[in-house]
Each structure stands twice: as structure tokens, then as C-alpha cells.
């Protein structure tokens, strides 16, 4: 599949998921199952790592919905201090939709090379030239970010190891953040300059445009039935 079509299809599904109910989750699982049947294998280890990095966000979402959504209390004796059944349902729904978006991001990165991804974004941002956006600079920044992610993760892991050392917690946090920032600055100043080439994307095959169109129809139909 053309990289541009992959990105557009991902955006279509992600957009519908932001407002989806159970029908949207079911349709997304159906699409993922179809991709699996077509031979696309998911990197479970990578997906699990991405989801684990978001665990505190998931916990925050669940806590917020549990105690700030009106409804039937889980523990009637606690009255207004009890989490609600409706809050649990809404919180778990939001966590499920975010998890599916994370899976799709992982799948997009797994099946698309860096050059293809940047070239597709460069192609898609072409119309933004009309409002003065420099798409070459945007594509360049994306390349630099993708190249730096692994190195930043290594630096962050080192700081987390040092964070476990003895000392006051607040001072350890401050020192770790300061050392991480300084390490990133030093890395940026010592990295040699290199020439980066952005691969130009051709216009996607006409028939492949049917994929995002079918996704719009599928999810739009599901949303209509839910109404």
C-alpha cells in the first residue's frame, strides 16, 4: 500500500475513534483482524512497550472518569465519594480507544520505512504551501525527531537508573531532569552535520484511494447506526 494511503487511512480511523463508542471499537478490531488475515503481523512486544509507557496516562483517565462522572455509585455507602458505574464504563472506553490508536501507530511505523513516512508527510503537506508553510523544513524536523528518539530513550533510561540512587526524592528528580537536559544539549552540539534527502512520493494509485473512502463509509455507517 502507498505510504500516503497508509497515513490517510490511519487518520480516518483515529478521527472516528476519538468519538467512538463500542461500535467504533468493534469496527477497528474488525479492520485490524482483516489486516492480520492479509498477512500483516503485529509486533506484540513493541505494542506492549508503547502501552506500558502510557500506563500513567491510562490510570489518570480512569481515576478522572471514576470520580467525576455522575451516575450509580459502586459503593452506595460512600454516596458522592464513591466511583460510579458510568464513570468506569466511560473511562475504560477512552482507554480502549487510545490503546487502539497506539496499536495503529505501531503498525504504521512497523510497515513504513522512515524515508517513506517522511516522504508521504512531505507529499500530504503540499497544499499548506499556500499559507506559507515550509514543508521541506517540516519534513526535516520529522527526520531529526525520528533519528533522535532512540538516543533520547537511552539517555532517559540512564537518568532513571540514577534516579533510584539514595537521596531526597525532590532533589533526585531535579538533578535527573537537569542532567538529562544537559546531556541532550551536549549531544546536539557534538552531532556532526549530515545531508538528508527527502524521498519524493508519486501520486498514489487511483484504486488505493478506495481504502480510506471505504473506511469513511464503514465508520460513518457505524456512527449513524449508533445514533
Q: Which pLDDT belongs to residue 21?
A: 77
pLDDT at 150: 58
CA 220/CA 157 separation, integer angstroms: 43
- What pLDDT score does 196 carry? 61
Higher pLDDT, 16 or 194: 16
| pLDDT value at residue 194 | 58
Cα–Cα distance for residue pair 160/163, rounded to 1 Å: 5
Q: What is the predicted pLDDT for the residue at 72?
A: 82
N- to C-terminal Cα distance for the chain? 33
Query: 198-210 burial string, b = 16+ CB within 10 Å, else e?
Result: bbebeebeeeeee
pLDDT at 121: 82
Distance CA 142, CA 197 (A): 12
Distance, in Å, from the CA atom of 182 to the CA atom of 125, rounded to the nearest integer, reads 34
| 3-class secondary-structure state, position 84 | strand
Q: How many angstroms separate the CA atoms of 99 and 47, rounded?
A: 9
The residue to which cell 490503546 is assigned: 99
pLDDT bucket at 115, cuts 50 / 70 / 90? confident
- With CA atoms as reference, report the closest residue to 126 among 117, 135, 118: 135
Task: Check residue 193 and give its pLDDT.
Answer: 57
pLDDT above 70 covers what percent of the chain?
72
Closest CA to 9 of 212, 208, 204: 212
Write down the pLDDT at residue 26.
Answer: 85
Position 104 pLDDT exceeds 70: yes
Residue 154: what pLDDT?
Answer: 60
Q: What is the pTM of this model?
A: 0.74
* pLDDT for the residue 182: 63
Burial class (CB in 10 A: 0-12, 13-18, 19+), 116: middle
Q: What is the Cα–Cα distance from 181 to 34, expressed in whole angstroms?
A: 44
CB atoms within 10 A of CB 118: 24
**Rg of the chain on CA atoms, in Å:** 22
Per-residue pLDDT tens digits for 181-195: 666 556 655 666 556
Give the separation between CA 71 and CA 92, rounded to whole angstroms.
15
Look at the block and give the residue holding cell 494511503: 5
Mean pLDDT of the chain: 76
Q: Which tens digit of pLDDT belongs to each residue from 124-158?
A: 877 777 777 777 777 777 766 666 665 666 656 66
User: In 3D, which of 181, 154, 43, 22 has the Cα closest to residue 93?
Assistant: 22
Amino acid at each position: 500500500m502507498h505510504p500516503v494511503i497508509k497515513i490517510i487511512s490511519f487518520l480516518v480511523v483515529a478521527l472516528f475513534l476519538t468519538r467512538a463508542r463500542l461500535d467504533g471499537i468493534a469496527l477497528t478490531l474488525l479492520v485490524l483482524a482483516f489486516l492480520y488475515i492479509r498477512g500483516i503481523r503485529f509486533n506484540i512486544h513493541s505494542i506492549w512497550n508503547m502501552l506500558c509507557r502510557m500506563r500513567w496516562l491510562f490510570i489518570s483517565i480512569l481515576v478522572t472518569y471514576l470520580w467525576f462522572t455522575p451516575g450509580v455509585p459502586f459503593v452506595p455507602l460512600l454516596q458522592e465519594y464513591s466511583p460510579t458505574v458510568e464513570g468506569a464504563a466511560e473511562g475504560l472506553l477512552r482507554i480502549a480507544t487510545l490503546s487502539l490508536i497506539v496499536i495503529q501507530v505501531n503498525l504504521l511505523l512497523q510497515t513504513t520505512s522512515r524515508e517513506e513516512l517522511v516522504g508521504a508527510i512531505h507529499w500530504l503537506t503540499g497544499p499548506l504551501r499556500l499559507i506559507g508553510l515550509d514543508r521541506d523544513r517540516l519534513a526535516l524536523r520529522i527526520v531529526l525527531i525520528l533519528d533522535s528518539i532512540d538516543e533520547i530513550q537511552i539517555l532517559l533510561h540512564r537518568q532513571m537508573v540514577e534516579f533510584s540512587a539514595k537521596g531526597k526524592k525532590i532533589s533526585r528528580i531535579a538533578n535527573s531532569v537537569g542532567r538529562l537536559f544537559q546531556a541532550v544539549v551536549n549531544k546536539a552540539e557534538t552531532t556532526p552535520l549530515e545531508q538528508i534527502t527527502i524521498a519524493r512520493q508519486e501520486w498514489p494509485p487511483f484504486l488505493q484511494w478506495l481504502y480510506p473512502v471505504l473506511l469513511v463509509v464503514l465508520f460513518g455507517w457505524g456512527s449513524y447506526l449508533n445514533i
